[in-house]
Amino acid sequence: MRLITSVSEMKALTREARSHGKSIGLVPTMGALHKGHLSLIRQAKQQCDVIVASVFVNPTQFGPGEDYERYPRNIDKDFNLLSSYNIDAVFAPSAEEMYPEGFQTFVEPGPLGKIYEGASRPGHFRGVATIVVKLFNIVQPDMAYFGQKDFQQTVVIRRLVEDLNMSVRLVLCTIVRDEDGLAISSRNAYLKPAQRKSALSLSRSLRRAVELAHSGQADARKILDEMRRVLRTESRVKIDYLAIVDPVSLEKASQVTAGMIALVAARVDRVRLIDNAILGPAGKSPEELLQMALSAPAVTTTEARIPGIAAEAVVHKIESCRDCAAISTILLPPREFMGAYIKRDYPDLNSVQTAVIGRNATARPDNSFYRTSGRPNRFVTALYELVGVADFEEFRKRFILTDIIRCHTSAPKVPDKAMHNCLRHLRNELSLFPNLETLAVLGEDAYLGVQRFLLERDLDSIQPFSQFVEPNSWAEEQVEISFLNNRAVRIFYCHHPTLGYQRSPSLASALVK
């Protein structure tokens, strides 16, 4: 392993490597190496022929009053640590080598570099972008390795690489933590035992965010409030910023979806620390979550509400439900239901205005409405005519189709117990759609389920269905529904399009009022 301190020698080594057709991996560091850095080295060795680790405390990314002078430096220790990994070179230039007299060209990273870390540390990402471009030009790596802990830095560099048409590929590796949960950082060396104990509140706040996301909480404000509460239990900790952001644009999120990032920066007395966590489905590995964040598309509009963790929680609860196992006429498990297709068919939950509520799931899953994308059959054709749409594409722009129960029943009437058991799933499904204003209830079973269990009306007060829908073969009422935040909702009751012998006229004109 060679210790290289000059730009010219570093360029000579990489030219030689390329002349032999070898791939080059770069691990940029500021020294004070720890297990996080070493995880990047291990990843690089798995993928590249020649490995270069840079050790350079970059003065241009430190602002006035920051810790440039006291930042940990021990090149001998770092060199000995890296030698055990048998890498090819350590590039450890001086500040004068990287920024010679007369240097005056800097890289401005744009808006991504002016928020969060950029706002707290003005000029920081200008220095980061400049040194990264210099390192990429000097080493000419095929791949460069960075850690998730500095997530915003990686987003800035990713944008830089794309904007400047650089050929290097970026590899982001998951956060490495100590046994107590603290994200490993060179600045942890500043912490005294009592301060380290307080610093653990950062990782605790992120774990709390993950727990809430797994429980189905999708309101970013509520998650941030809970993170803030955890951090404030430690008097030494002063919050710099908290945010839940889109992983591509870094825009603040109002609703949490899988792959979004919870960011935290705080000072423990004088020591400034950062940490983050990727919010995603339970059971995913850190690597899977990281891939989810890196592959997430940018949110196209700030108003759109895409299906996220709350929707995934609803689907999981339905799929795992066995509440009706003791009812012999119920065919378990739930297999075909709207929620299973919500990500595919409803990219913006705000668009749905009407929920059509049928009887039960089909006995033959291959014929289900969503699996076939609304392929016409006797029921589907009658449904489209009832609500006034031409096809599935038009239907899913404004409507969802769900059922009073999510399993199939072989009984002539849906058992009351099954409707009662499935009520929570119906409520959870309907709650996903913030602009839902209308329910269209199909047939007697769905009517009784909505009246008794959704609206919680006494059985004695419920009229017989045939009487309720006369004389027009459909009826309408407006109610405030508590689990929809007391939203006023219009409910239309009509005959089922294919069960029985009576039919209702089209509701199309009524639904658009």
Q: Is the dihedral of CA 21, 22, 26, 31 positive or negative?
A: negative
Amino acid 302: pLDDT = 43
Tell me whether residue 246 is in a domain: yes
**Are the C-beta atoms of residues 274 and 237 closer than 8 Å to each other?**
no
Q: How confident is the model at residue 300 (pLDDT cuts 50, 70, 90)?
A: very low
pLDDT in tens, 335-378: 788 988 998 898 888 899 999 999 998 888 888 999 999 999 99
Q: Which residues contact 505 (CB under 8 A, 6 or more apart)?
A: 472, 473, 474
Side-chain half-sphere exposure of 319, counting CA atoms within 13 A: 10
Residues 251 and 392 in one domain: no
Note if the pTM is more than 0.85: no
pLDDT digits (tens, 9 = 90+) for 201-239: 999 999 999 999 988 888 999 999 999 999 999 999 999
Q: Is pLDDT at 22 greater than 70 in this prediction?
A: yes
Confidence category of residue 301, pLDDT binned at 50, 70, 90: very low
Tell whether 69 and 197 lie within a shared domain: no
Contact 68, 59 (CB under 8 A): yes
Note down the domain range covering 387: 309-511
Concerning whether 34 is annotated as a catalytic residue, the answer is no
Q: What is the chain's percent helix, strand, coil content, to nearest 5?
A: 40, 20, 40
Half-sphere exposure of 381 (CA within 13 A, CB side): 3
Return the percentage of the chain with pLDDT > 90, whole number.
Answer: 79
Residue 142 sits in the same domain as residue 253 = no
| Statement to judge: residues 210 and 140 lie in one domain | no
Beta strands in 255-365 (DSSP E): 260-268, 271-279, 330-331, 354-358
Active-site annotation holder among 37, 124, 425, 495? 37
Report the distance separating Cα 401 and Cα 395, nearest Å.
9
Mean pLDDT of the residues in the chain:
92
Write phi, then psi, for 204 (nearest 5 degrees).
-65, -40
Same domain assignment for residues 274 and 336: no
In a domain, 180, yes or no: no
Closest CA to 300 of 242, 348, 229, 350: 348
């241009």: which residue's tokens?
Answer: 60
Task: Give the number of domains in the chain.
Answer: 3
Same domain, 124 and 42: yes
C-alpha distances out from residue 498 to 9, 16, 45, 386, 503, Å: 80, 76, 64, 11, 8
Q: List the one residue out of 391, 380, 384, 425 whose CA is nearest residue 406.
A: 425
Instruction: Please tell me whether residues 318 and 169 are part of one structural domain.
Output: no
